[in-house]
Amino acid sequence: KITFREIHEKDGSPVKHVRYCEAEDKPVDPSEIGKAYELDGRLIPVTDEELDQLAPERTQTIEIESFTPRTQVDPIRFDHPYYLIPGDKSVGTLRAFRLLVEAMGESDLLALGRFVMRNREYLAAIRVYGDGLALSTMHFPAEIRSAEEIPGPEEVPDAEELKDAISIIEERSTDWNPASFKDQHRARLMKVIEKKRKGTKIKVAAAVEEEKPTAAPDLMAALKKTLAESRSKRRKPSDLAGLSRDELYEMASERGLKGRSSMNKQQLLRALRR
């Protein structure tokens, strides 16, 4: 993950955030800042002492409450992943850890439990990963928005549309290869940052608005075209169609294509495929 510091553009110096009191309209010293919970438009103050009293008991262990089939836990409930290691290197601890890894691997189950980290209690799902264990923190049920609240499409596709859509999915199905999914934006960004570090002036291309459709898209025609392209040549992860306009523009620049700065994504695709 790339993070940026905020600077004053005039002189390049770092910018500090000053906390102000709305009532007194003046900066507040950190020692005078407390916590409050907004409820029905009111701010209810909560002291650090009250929070400490309510904090769960700190432990160095994970309490496993049950084991369940992986398929019964929807991935939407998972949050952050962590690797798990034994608490110490004693023979007994290492043996118990290895026993748990082997037993869970044989049963293909998830271990569900709780643990405390930074004064907060977390739900956790533990699974076998490689030769060890991985833990994913989980969202509590109240933290997940119900799918029933999300409006779905009202129109039902006809049989031919559904058949073509399924064919496209099957044509493009492949084995999972994590190495083919790279953070291309990060690579481009770091390339620009490195150039600027060396004093290279970066030329920014003029923004080009995407063409707006003049009529509603013909879904059947689009499906048939996509299906025909898939069958004529199985699309690879590196295919041009999977690249962003910025990536296509970079390729066009390397080839010296004329008029590239005014091209949208589709025009760049056509030009690069010639």
Residue 223 sits at φ, ψ, to 5 deg, of -65, -45
Q: Is residue 79 in some structural domain?
A: yes
**Shared-domain flag, residues 107 and 161:** no
Q: Is position 16 within any domain?
A: no
Q: Helix axis angle, 219-232 relative to 159-171, nearest 10°?
A: 30
Q: Which pLDDT value is given to residue 237?
A: 38
Q: Are residues 73 and 136 in the same domain?
A: yes
In a domain, residue 86? The reply is yes
How many domains would you assign to the chain? 3
Judge whether 226 lies within some domain. yes
Write out the E strands in the chain.
Answer: 20-21, 26-27, 35-39, 42-46, 63-69, 78-84, 109-117, 120-129, 132-138
178 in any annotated domain: no
User: Which two structure tokens, joined as six digits, stand for 112?
Assistant: 């569900």
- In which residue are the tokens 């290869």 written? 177
CATH code, domain carrying 88: 2.40.290.10
Q: Are residues 161 and 118 in the same domain?
A: no
User: How many residues are listed for the chain in this entry?
Assistant: 274
CA angle 215, 218, 221 (to 5 degrees): 145
Tell me if residue 174 falls in helix, strand or coil. coil
Query: Is 247 found in the same domain as 226?
Result: no
| Tens digit of each residue's pLDDT (9 = 90 or more) over 215-254 | 656 766 777 777 666 655 544 435 677 777 877 877 787 6
| Predicted pLDDT of residue 77 | 95
pLDDT along the chain (274 residues), means of 10: 89 92 92 94 92 78 92 94 91 92 92 89 94 94 87 81 83 77 87 90 78 66 71 52 77 76 84 80
Does residue 85 sit in the same domain as residue 136?
A: yes
Q: Are residues 165 and 124 in the same domain?
A: no
Instruction: Give me the domain span that covers residue 162.
Output: 157-169+219-230
64 by Cβ neighbours in 10 Å (0-12 / 13-18 / 19+) ranks as middle
Report the alpha-carbon distance of residue 2 to residue 14 in Å, rounded: 17
Residues 6+ apart with CB under 8 A from 154: none
Tell me, yes or no, whether 91 and 123 share the same domain.
Answer: yes
Question: Considering the domain boundaries, does residue 102 fall inside one?
Answer: yes
Beta-bridge mates of residue 83 = 134
Token pair recorded at residue 213:
């459709």
Whether 162 and 93 share a structural domain? no
Three-state secondary-structure class, residue 95: helix
End-to-end Cα distance, the chain: 36
Residue 54 lies in a domain: no
Angle at 225 between CA 224 and CA 227, to 5 degrees: 65
Kindly state whether residue 162 falls inside one of the protein's structural domains: yes
The CA distance from 51 to 57, in Å, is: 12
**Shared domain check, 164 and 136:** no
Which amino acid appears at position 125 of this protein? Answer: A
Instruction: Give the model's pLDDT for residue 29.
Output: 93
Tell me: do 266 and 225 sit in the same domain. Answer: no
pLDDT confidence of residue 36: 95
Q: Are residues 69 and 133 in the same domain?
A: yes
Measured distance CA(43)–CA(37) in Å, rounded? 5
Q: Quick one: 164 and 99 in the same domain?
A: no
In 3-state terms, what secondary structure has residue 179?
Answer: helix
Give the phi and the psi of residue 83 in degrees, each rounded to 5: -90, 145
- Mean pLDDT taken over the chain: 85
